[in-house]
Amino acid sequence: MSQSTAVAPGAPVPEAQQDEFNPFLAMAERFDTAADHLGLDAGVRDVLRTPDRELTVAIPVLMDDGSLRVFKGYRVQHNFMRGPCKGGIRFAPDVHLDEVRALAAWMTWKCSVVNLPFGGAKGGVICNPQELSMGELERITRRYTASILDLLGPDRDVPAPDINTNEQTMAWIMDTYSMHVRRTSTAVVTGKPLNLGGSRGRREATGRGVMISCREALKMIGLRPDETRVVVQGAGNVGGIGALLMHREGYKILSLSDVYGAIHDPKGLDMPDVIAWQQKHKRIDNYPKAQKLSVAEQIELECDVLIPAATENQITSKNVDRIKARLIVEGANGPSTAPADKKLEARGVISVPDILANAGGVTVSYFEWVQDRMGYFWTEEVVNSRLEQTMVSAIEEVKATAKKYSVSLRTAAYILAIDRVVTVYRLRGVFA
C-alpha cells in the first residue's frame, strides 16, 4: 500500500516558516529593495506584491489498493497584467502555500525580465511521487486539472513542468483540459511531448539558458569557459542537462549532486558517462568513477562557478561564509536566502539571479505556446537561436540597469521586471 502523503481538507499541512527560509518573504524583501529604487508608492507596491488569485483544492484519488485518499493542491496566479499567467506545477511532500505564492511571483518577474507577454502563476500538489504508481499519478494529475480548470486556458493560465512533473504530466493535463472544453487545446500547457504540440529544444531550454547566463556573466570576471571549474547541485532537467551542455562547451564540471548525494572529480566529470549512468540507475550518488560527497560538502567546494539547480534555500546564513565560488548562477528558483545574498554581495561574489538565469525554460515555453497557436513548428536551430537572442538581450539589459542604479544583478533584474509590469499597469488602469 502506498504511504504517499495525502492531506485531508482541514488537516494540518506543512507550515511555512516565518524566517529567512520563507520563500515568499524572501521574494518580498527583494521586491521592496527594487521598489525603493523605483520610488513606487505604497498602493502600487501592495497591488504588485499581492497574488491576484489563490485556489486550494482537495483531490480525491482512488489508490491502487482500492482505498480512497485526499491530496491537497494549489494554483496561485500572482499577476496577469502583461498577459496570460504562466508557471509550473510541482509535486512534492513539502509544498506549501507561501512557497507556491513566491514561485508565482517569481514567474511574474521572470517573464517580465525576458520580456515575454505573460504574467506569473504556480501550482503544487502535496504528494510524494516516489511512492506513487503511474496510475495514481495520472489520477492525481487529472483530478487536480479538473479542479482548477476554470482558471486554465491558453489565454488565461498556461502551466508547465516543475519539480517531479514532466512531459507525461503535461500530456495528461492537456488531455483532461481538452476533454472538458470539447476540443483539442494544445496551447493550454507547455513542456509537452513533441508529438503532442511540444517544442523542439524545450527539454534542454532551462539548462541552455543557464549556460548562456553563465557565459555572459563570466565576462564580468574575465574567465573563459575552458578555464572555468563548475559545481552543479541538482541533476534533473535544469542541473543535469545544464552540466551536460556546459561540459560540451569545455567547462570542467567538478561535481554534480542529486537528492541522494554528490559526486566529485577534481579533474572534471565525464558528463555523458555520468548521465548514461543516471539514466540506467535513476540516481548518481553511486556513480563508481568519482569520489562521493554529501550535498552539504559539495556546495562548499573550491570552484569558480556554483550552479544551485535543485531547490530553494540552499545558500543560507548558515553556510554562506564557506561558499567559495566567485560566480553563482541560480538554476533553481530561490536557492539563496536574502541574508546570504547580502553577505555574498559584500564579498564581491556575483550572483546571476534565478529570475534571469533560469528564464530559458519559460522562454521556450513561450515559443511552444506561439507554435501551438500557429499550428506551425520551428526547427531546433530556430528555437535555440531565438532563445540565445532573448537571453543575451535580457542579460545586457540587466547589466545596463545594474550600472545605471549601481546595484547588484539581482536588484537590477527586479527593477527591470517590476518597472515593465508597472508601466503596463499604469497604461491599463485599475478596473473597477
Residues in contact with ligand NAD by CB under 6 A are: 161-164, 206, 233-239, 257-259, 295, 309-311, 331-333, 358, 361
Pick the closest to residue 337 from 323, 316, 319, 353 (CA basis): 316
Q: How far is the CB of 364 from ligand NAD (least distance, A)?
A: 9
Q: Which is nearer to ligand NAD, 197 or 331 (CB)?
A: 331
Give the 3-state DSSP-derived string for 167-212, with helices as H, strands as E and coil as C. HHHHHHHHHHHHHHHCCCCHHHCCCCCHHHCCCCCHHHHHHHHHHH
What are residue 252's DSSP bridge partners? 229
CB of 196 to ligand NAD, least distance (A): 17
Question: Which CB, 35 or 207, lies closer to ligand NAD?
Answer: 207
Of 25 and 38, the one with the shorter C-beta distance to ligand NAD is: 25
Q: What are phi and psi of 39, to 5 degrees?
A: 65, 35
Q: How far is the CB of 7 from ligand NAD (least distance, A)?
A: 21
Distance between alpha carbon 32 and the CA centroid of its chain, in Å? 21
Residue that the C-alpha cell 569558480 belongs to: 304
- Choice between 45 and 141, CB closer to ligand NAD: 141
Catalytic residue (one of 122, 280, 292, 318):
122
The Cα-based distances of 177 to 47, 77, 139, 327 in angstroms read 30, 18, 14, 42
Helix intervals (H) in 78-166: 97-113, 134-147
Alpha carbon of residue 428 to chain centroid: 29
Would you give the DSSP letter of residue 19?
Answer: S
Let me know if 399 is a catalytic residue.
no
In degrees and rounded to multiples of 5, residue 48 shows phi and psi of -80, -25
91 vs 144, beta carbon nearer ligand NAD? 91
Q: State the minimum distance, in angstroms, from the CB of residue 161 to ligand NAD.
A: 6
CB of 192 to ligand NAD, least distance (A): 13
Catalytic residues: 122
